[in-house]
Structure 1
């Protein structure tokens, strides 16, 4: 199975997938040479994701591809499915469970700038949260914070607070009770976000749902003994070795450059 993200955010999805399929061998691929996606144009993201997944699928022959990235999924999922001859599972903002959980009927969507402006988010909101006020905020800074956190670098509470205030300071933000973490990087720092929130907020993401879908599609397969996971980076960017402890915590070896 291949899990693909722009960086290390997909580890939040990998965590749930390995719980659902503990014996499945996994390849985690991070497009370190193209990171970050959230500030790129839609054409850049669609072209890059399709090209890289085509190369990786040809070389690795995965049983399933999981695009463990909200930005890549909402922009490039259709393109990828058109060019690959293997099943592809995407990642979409968890607006449905957020609406189901909200008491105040005000929910926030915290993602990258590219994700929160997508028409797909409009469609999800209209379908599953029509009776809610849906606030949105795009934060590229929070992606960088999550990457720094996973490299073991110190990060400031004020920076997490600023990301949350992008939602809380909007009209209606004082009533918001549930926040959709619409970037796979963000669950990796959910505890930091909760710690700086001015009141208790519920944070939801789609990782568990992706894991359930993945397990359903791969039901009945017989896997070898656990182990044999790989971590691939698309470019030898400075500081790549500093991710090794975080990768180890998620059951992965250090990055190898593809």
Structure 2
């Protein structure tokens, strides 16, 4: 019997769990390792060169030690920077998460709101996506690091301050008909964002597309009821200062709480 594939999912925090959920739903039989670089969080505030070196070192270590078959960089900010280097350094597929501009442009008849970290908003990569896939669309750019923190705080059991959320999203209210969640943390706030932006605004992220991409690259059939679910391990670059957030995040997306394994030698 052929051994199951090993997939590494990488993010700076728990936001990548939203991508993990979509991939796991399609391919529950694979072996997963989730590495969150909490020591470097939040990535949106790191210098590009620092981020590039961190991700390259951590991902390379995990690929070597765990015989990884495919890497998913489940972070929009990191993906806009590190993909070319990782694809050059590694001999396995590397899948990144980029803002879902193309599908947004296909359904928008008014304007698109791209909600992401300031780093993602300011990248040439992001602006090139807009030029290529939404040249005829009006795109409002909104960058916020605070939304990342609010998403993580929500997982720690803290209520979302909807007044603050409304203030952050105010430039988009009544201005758009599609909102692109350009950070993997933001699906954690999807319910609250929908309430602020209005029920007629379509919110989209890249999770589903990433899951399909992974299945194709690994030549795996999409979900099969006869396949048994496999396990997953969670690693962090530092001992979590409030590890409960990770387990709450896992529970939020339908996973069982697990013990976190600090990554040695980083």
TM-score, structure 1 as length reference: 0.92
> Following superposition of structure 1 onto structure 2, how do residues 10-21 of structure 1 map, counting pairs within 5 Å?
10-21=16-27
Cα deviation digits, residues 198-237 of structure 1 (max 9, x gap): 563111111111000001011248x984232111111113
Q: Is the Cα–Cα contact under 8 Å of residues 248 and 254 in structure 1 kept in the other structure?
A: no
Cα deviation digits, residues 135-175 of structure 1 (max 9, x gap): 1011000000111111222221122212312434xxxxx43
2:214 equivalent to 1:214: yes
Pairing partner for 2:155 from 140, 150, 154: 150
Cα deviation digits, residues 35-91 of structure 1 (max 9, x gap): 000011111111111111111111111111000100000011111112122210011
Unaligned runs of 5+ in 2: 1-6
**Partners in 2 of 1:220 and 1:194 — Cα distance?**
34
**Partners in 1 of 2:19 and 2:204 — Cα distance?**
13
> Following superposition of structure 1 onto structure 2, how do residues 61-210 of structure 1 map, counting pairs within 5 Å?
61-104=67-110, 106-168=111-173, 174-197=174-197, 200-210=200-210
**Partners in 1 of 2:195 and 2:35 — Cα distance?**
30
Q: After superposing the two structures, state which structure 1 stretch, 4-13 or 159-168, moved more.
A: 159-168
Q: Is the Cα–Cα contact under 8 Å of residues 28 and 230 in structure 2 kept in the other structure?
A: no
**Partners in 1 of 2:260 and 2:168 — Cα distance?**
29
Report how many aligned residue pairs link the two structures.
252
Q: After superposing the two structures, state which structure 1 stretch, 119-128 or 64-73, moved more.
A: 119-128
Residues 155 and 220 (structure 1), Cα distance of their counterparts in 2 relative to 1, 3 Å cut: closer
Unaligned runs of 5+ in 1: 169-173
Q: After superposing the two structures, state which structure 1 stretch, 93-102 or 40-49, moved more.
A: 40-49
**Partners in 2 of 1:198 and 1:18 — Cα distance?**
30
Q: After superposing the two structures, state which structure 1 stretch, 13-22 or 246-255, moved more.
A: 246-255
2:36 equivalent to 1:36: no
Partner of 1:241: 244
**Partners in 2 of 1:31 and 1:22 — Cα distance?**
24
In angstroms, what is the RMSD of aligned CA positions? 1.9
Q: Is the Cα–Cα contact under 8 Å of residues 241 and 254 in structure 1 kept in the other structure?
A: no
